[in-house]
């Protein structure tokens, strides 16, 4: 069947989107959403670009749009998975442009006038050049804004985060004059949760991954113990508002039992 012409398709999609949004009124919403912004390079190649940086740029622009959708939907906290610690091993000619786009994206979402409180989380000191300083300075300006909480995961890996949380718990205990053996005897889940990179991220309600891949790839492993997962076939730059609304509908239709 032939696709409808664009001038017809757009109005029809708009009507469908409004109706879909109306069906979500009063239904449960996730409060903390993790989003794996995957497929930028593949989108660029599919779109005919010879330079994959075009995919990174398109993906970076979509971040601001997505956060606007989340704000309108009443979501309180978003974690964006933009670069894993494994990705830091990519060739410099590929990694450099990607980090540049991440820096530009963070500058955009932290700009004056935005009501978002942004943090950069991950192994920032492993980033090349001045990237760690750029990200920290940009996000520091958003402290106390009180709007949507946004964690930008850069150089992030959850196994590394868990190790760092354990180290931090012991360092804090020892610095206060405590006996390490005493902490070992009572060490529990809360000791790790309190020392994660983001102090408000001890659990995640909903994780979305674009590009059709169906794995977590080291994203929020600790926080997602009872998270609902949603896989989207489109690449991140092509992720639409209707795709987001469908994801929220999928979440609302699930029964969350938390192991009970």
What are the residue numbers of the active site?
38, 87
Per residue, the 3-state secondary structure of the chain, as one string, reads CCCCCHHHHHHHHHHHHHHHHHHCCCCCCCCEEEEECCCHHHHHHHCCCCCCHHHHHHHHHHHHHHHHHHHHHCCCEEEEEEEECHHHHCCHHHHHHHHHHHHHHHHHHCCCCCCEEEEEECCHHHCCCCHHHHHHHHHHCCCCCCCEEEEEEEEECHHHHHHHHHHHHHHHHHHCCCCHHHHHHHCCHHHHHCCCCCCCCCCCCEEEECCCCCCCCCCCCCCCCCCEEEECCCCHHHCCHHHHHHHHHHHHCCCCCCCC
């Amino acid at each position: 069947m032939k696709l409808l012409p664009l001038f017809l398709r757009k109005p029809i999609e708009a009507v469908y989107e409004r109706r879909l949004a109306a069906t979500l009124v009063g239904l449960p919403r996730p409060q903390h959403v993790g989003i794996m912004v995957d497929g930028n390079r593949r989108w660029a190649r599919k779109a005919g670009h010879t330079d994959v940086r075009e995919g990174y740029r398109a993906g970076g622009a979509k971040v601001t749009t997505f956060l606007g959708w989340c704000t309108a939907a009443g979501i309180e906290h978003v974690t964006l998975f933009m670069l894993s610690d494994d990705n830091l091993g990519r060739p410099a000619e590929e990694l450099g442009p990607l980090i540049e786009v991440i820096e530009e994206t963070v500058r955009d979402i932290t700009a004056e006038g935005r009501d978002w409180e942004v943090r950069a989380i991950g192994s920032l000191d492993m980033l090349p050049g001045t990237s760690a300083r750029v990200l920290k300075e940009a996000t520091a300006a958003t402290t106390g804004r009180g709007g949507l909480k946004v964690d930008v995961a850069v150089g992030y890996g959850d196994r590394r985060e868990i190790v760092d949380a354990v180290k931090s718990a012991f360092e804090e205990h020892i610095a206060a004059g405590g006996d390490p053996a005493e902490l070992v005897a009572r060490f529990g889940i809360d000791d790790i949760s309190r020392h994660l990179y983001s102090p408000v991220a001890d659990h995640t309600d909903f994780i979305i991954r674009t590009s059709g891949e169906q794995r977590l790839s080291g994203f929020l492993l600790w926080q997602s113990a009872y998270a609902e997962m949603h896989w989207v076939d489109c690449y991140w730059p092509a992720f639409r508002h209707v795709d987001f609304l469908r994801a929220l509908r999928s979440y609302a239709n699930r029964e969350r039992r938390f192991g009970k």
